[in-house]
Amino acid sequence: MNSLILRTVAPFLTALMLLFSVFVLLRGHNEPGGGFIGGLIAASALAIYGIANGVSAVRKALWFHPMSISAFGLFLACVAGFLSMAFAVPFMTGLWVYPVVLGVEVALSTVMLFDIGVYLVVVGAIISIALAMEGREGEGP
């Protein structure tokens, strides 16, 4: 797309959407939201960036191959499930720890680890599909 306005606004909109996707991800295990919706928002942000600046800009913005991101997310989701079995509770049972970081008690859980895994699977898969559908720049009708 050859729009100066879109190319100018896209980086700011992408950053705002990525920040919002992390917000939706982190509130997901207590309220509506979670890894799937957060991942869709992040993939949409990268799609807008790709529409404005081209596929090569999205490939440069990603540090890893999209399918590697998906694979790591699947690994995290599996680890979240198998951690419960390691502690002799049923598969996918939520476990919590409360470490104190800089004087503040932080609640960490396997539920959050699973949500982060789903987030990464969705982002990697959707971006991989979108980049494959877009093909190489300059091809197409």
Mean pLDDT computed over 24-30: 82
Range of the domain at 97: 4-134
HEC letters along 46-104 = HHHHHHHHCHHHHHHHCCCCHHHHHHHHHHHHHHHHHHHHHCCCCCCCCCEECCEECCE
Would you place residue 140 in the very low, low, confident or very high pLDDT band (cuts 50, 70, 90)?
Answer: very low
Is 74:84 a contact under the CB 8 Å cutoff?
A: no
Encode pLDDT of 60-105 as tens digits: 989 999 999 999 999 999 999 999 888 988 888 888 889 898 999 9
Would you place residue 109 in the very low, low, confident or very high pLDDT band (cuts 50, 70, 90)?
Answer: confident
128 Cβ neighbours under 8 A, 6+ residues apart: 66, 67, 70
Give the number of domains in the chain.
1
Look at residue 71 and tell me if it is in a domain: yes
Letter for the amino acid at 46? Answer: L
Cα 50 from chain centroid (whole Å)? 16
Look at residue 16 and tell me if it is in a domain: yes
Q: What is the CA radius of gyration of the chain?
A: 18
Look at residue 44 and tell me if it is in a domain: yes
pLDDT of residue 128: 93
Share of the chain above pLDDT 90, in %: 51
Q: Out of 20-34, 59-73, 83-97, 127-141, which region has the weakest mean confidence (pLDDT)?
A: 127-141
Look at residue 35 and tell me if it is in a domain: yes
Look at residue 28 and tell me if it is in a domain: yes
Look at residue 139 and tell me if it is in a domain: no
Look at residue 141 and tell me if it is in a domain: no
Q: Does this model's pTM top 0.75?
A: yes
For residues 69 and 67, what is the distance between their CA atoms, to the nearest angstrom?
Answer: 5
Look at residue 140 and tell me if it is in a domain: no
Mean pLDDT of the chain: 88
pLDDT of residue 37: 93
